[in-house]
Structure 1
Amino acid sequence: MHGAIVSSFKRYLDTALGEDIWRHAVEDAGLKGKTYMPVSIYPDEEMEALLRAAEQASGLRRDDLLGDFGEWVIAPLMQLYKAMIPQDCDATTFLVNLQQTHERILKLKDPEAHAPGITVKRCGAGLLEIRYASTRNMGAMIPGAVKGIASWFHEEVALLASEPGQGGQSTYVFRVSSGEMTSKQAG
């Protein structure tokens, strides 16, 4: 798991649920004393252990944690990688090119890293189908992340359908539409 995700998960828990949740999660996961740096790579099992422990410490379901985290993490990541986002980009264009952008960012940090499979296709006016496939089984982040991306571009999004699959796969259908603001990106 990329350190940017793990360290962002810590910041999300601290901000959204309180610093005690992270402290309990790290202890309960058997990772006390471990520090997560955004530029490093960590075993996927550590993120999964932190998720399970955060679920127990917060009383929230894993999918709810991932969904909220998915929405929360977009703004810091978009700000961090703002230079890689074309000026004339909107939420739909960004999402359609998400897999390539994600892979490019990962390869900058670790040439051996593997991004989850995220396939986005246009299904009609304003409709997008997103298929997520990864053994990490973190597809529950997708609805939140799409909401965060739409917010970044001052657009609106509605989840129309979702279908869990086998082995960490899931499919989502969203309607994306322009919001009332004309600015393309948040300051």
Structure 2
Amino acid sequence: MHGTILTLLKRYVQTQYDHSTWVKLVELSGLDSGDFSHKEVYPDEHLYALVGRAAEMVGIPAGELHEKFGEYLVPDLMYMYQKHLNPNWRTLDMLEHTEHTMHYEVRRQHANNAPPVLDVKRLNENEVIINYVSVRRMGGLAVGIVRGVAAYYDEADRIDVMPTTSEDGERVQIHVRRN
């Protein structure tokens, strides 16, 4: 897992709760440290442990926490990759081009980076189907990111995000439609 994601998880926990919650979460997760470098890649198990323990602490399913965290990530991700974005894009355009812009760049920056593969099919002007493929099984995070992208483009009230398969599989299909 890219250190940037873990660093943003730390900030998410600290802003939604507080610093002591983060410290306790790191301890309960069995990690030596809660400090991560955005230039490093860490074992996926770090994120699994942190999100799993956080979900237990706040009393919600891990998938729901993945979605909330996914939404939270979007403004930072958009800022980090802004030079790869077309200013005329809106939500569906962004989703359609993520694999060949941002994910391409993530893989290029570090050989160990492994974002999910997104096979996005534009059905028409108002619909896309996203086929998410990842052994990490974090489809909930992807669903949250889609919702966050819609909020980023101020279209959250007009975008329906509907997973059509279980969000915890290696292959997750997400239907996104603009009303």
Q: CA RMSD in A?
A: 1.9
Structure 1 gaps of 5+ residues are 178-187
Greater Cα shift, 46-55 or 96-105? 96-105
Offset at residue 89 of structure 1 (A): 1.7
For 1:174, the equivalent position in structure 2 comes to 176
For 2:27, the equivalent position in structure 1 comes to 27
Structure 2 gaps of 5+ residues are none
Normalized against structure 1, the TM-score is what?
Answer: 0.85
For 1:184, the equivalent position in structure 2 comes to none
The 1:87–1:166 alpha-carbon spacing in structure 2 relative to 1, beyond 3 Å, is: closer
Tell me the amino acid that sits aligned with residue 83 of structure 1.
K
Q: Deviations over 1:87-125 (max 9, x none)?
A: 222221111111122332213430342221112111234
Q: What is the correspondence of 1:23-172 to structure 2 with a 5 Å cutoff?
A: 23-155=23-155, 156-164=158-166, 167-172=169-174
Equivalent-residue separation in structure 2 for 1:17 and 1:133 (angstroms)? 32
Q: Deviations over 1:56-105 (max 9, x none)?
A: 22222101110000111101111122122112222211111111223322
| Regions of 4+ moved over 3 Å | none
Equivalent residues of 2:107, 2:115 under 8 A apart: no
Aligned residues: 177
Q: What is the correspondence of 1:5-16 to structure 2 with a 5 Å cutoff?
A: 5-16=5-16
Report the 3-state secondary structure (helix = DSSP H, G, I; strand = E; otherwise coil) of the residue aligned with 1:163. coil
Report the 3-state secondary structure (helix = DSSP H, G, I; strand = E; otherwise coil) of the residue aligned with 2:120. strand
Greater Cα shift, 108-117 or 50-59? 108-117
Equivalent-residue separation in structure 2 for 1:161 and 1:30 (angstroms)? 32
Equivalent residues of 1:2, 1:38 under 8 A apart: yes
Tell me the amino acid that sits aligned with residue 91 of structure 1.
T
Offset at residue 154 of structure 1 (A): 2.2
Equivalent-residue separation in structure 2 for 1:131 and 1:79 (angstroms)? 25
Greater Cα shift, 88-97 or 163-172? 163-172
User: What percentage of residue pairs aligned between the two structures are identical?
Assistant: 27
Greater Cα shift, 132-141 or 149-158? 149-158
Equivalent-residue separation in structure 1 for 2:68 and 2:169 (angstroms)? 22
Tell me the amino acid that sits aligned with residue 178 of structure 2.
V
For 1:4, the equivalent position in structure 2 comes to 4
Equivalent-residue separation in structure 2 for 1:42 and 1:171 (angstroms)? 27
Equivalent-residue separation in structure 2 for 1:139 and 1:160 (angstroms)? 12
The 1:86–1:125 alpha-carbon spacing in structure 2 relative to 1, beyond 3 Å, is: closer
